[in-house]
Structures are given as structure tokens and as C-alpha cells.
Amino acid sequence: MHDHSDLPFTEREARPKSGDRPVATAGEFACWLPRHRKSVGEARGILRGFLGGLTGGEPYVAVGELVLSELVTNAVRHARAPRDRRLWVRFELSPGVLRIEVHDASSVRPTVRRAGGDDEAGRGLWLVEQLSQRWGCCPRAGGIGKAVWALVGPAAGQRSHQVRESAIGNAVRTDGP
């Protein structure tokens, strides 16, 4: 069972850094992306590059990409904000956990819903819930909108490929449970 309560955020964590340049430190990366469907793939590529450049980052790639894809997709499709507002994505790798954050200008909190067998959408947050250790949402400190975050653990060896295949299969299955 996942705890959906907000993790405490310091103002540094919940507020994007000023300027348009990416912010990178050892174990942390953050950048702005346009609120556009193409940003989903761009975010995955950025995450792969970030994790690939860190010792011990590889076990987080497969599940991290799925969770990030769903969070960015939700922000692009469902955020009630002007089209010109951008997304702020942030990754932080600490021992045993990858923190993924997607900030948008909408204050509407995401909710998990049950998609019917014939529905073509509605499984994203269910996937996030299944694949993450914890996830949640909180208002952005000192700003407009919210930050949706997820904590992802490492997948071991072959299991990371199996997790990805299983999640993709469950996301598109239409023949019952």
C-alpha cells in the first residue's frame, strides 16, 4: 500500500531554480520543458542520460522511465494552466531511491481512477502507484501550481526488463483482469 501523503518539501526542493538553464549537481538534475506531448520522450531521454552518468544509476532506468512518462503525460494532458506554461522536472538519486518530480502551473491534484477494459486512457497514475515506493502531490512553495513526485527503487538485473514489459502489458490489456 502506498502512502499518498505529502512528503515534506523544503523551499529549495519545491521551487524551480531561476533561469532557463538546467540545474545539475552530483546526484541531482532539474530542467524546464515545454508543456507539449513531445516533452514526454525528451524527459525520458534526459533521465536515461542522468542515470547513465551516475554510478549505480542503471537499475533505476526502466521503472524510472515509466513513472516519469506517466507524470509528464499527466502534466501535459490534464494541467489546467495556460498553454505557454512550462514544466519543471527534477531527478535526485540517493542511496536506494530515485526521486522524480514534475512541477506544473495547475493547482488541480491528480487522482488515481479505475479505467474500464475498453478505456484508452486512465491507467497512468495506477502505474505510478504500482511501480513506485511512494508518490504524492504538494503545492509548489512560493509559487503557482503543484509538484507531483514519486520515489522509485532499483530494479535488479533482468527484473527491470520484466517490470517494464509487465507494466506495458497491463496498461494496454483489454481482455479482463
Domain layout of the chain by residue ranges = 11-172
Rounded CA-CA distance 114/122 in Å is 7
Q: What is the CATH number of domain 11-172?
A: 3.30.565.10
Confidence grade of residue 117 (pLDDT, cut at 50, 70, 90): low
Q: Is the pLDDT of residue 71 over 80?
A: yes
Which amino acid belongs to residue 2?
A: H
Band of pLDDT at residue 109, cut at 50, 70 and 90: confident
More confident residue, 9 or 45: 45
pLDDT of residue 43: 96
Q: What is the predicted pLDDT for the residue at 6?
A: 39
What mean pLDDT is reported for the chain?
77
Q: Give the model's pLDDT for residue 155.
A: 84
How much is the pTM?
0.75
Residue 113 one-letter amino acid: R
Q: How confident is the model at residue 176 (pLDDT cuts 50, 70, 90)?
A: very low
**CB proximity list for 160: less than 8 A, separation 6 or greater:** 59, 61, 62, 63
**Residue 7: how many CB atoms within 10 A of its CB?**
13
For the ranges 62-66, 108-112, 172-176, the lowest mean pLDDT is seen at 172-176
**Would you say residue 11 has pLDDT above 70?**
no
- What does the buried/exposed string (b/e) look like for 75-110 if buried means 16 or more CB atoms within 10 Å of the residue's CB? bbeebebeeeebbbbbbbbeeeebbbbbbbbbeeeb
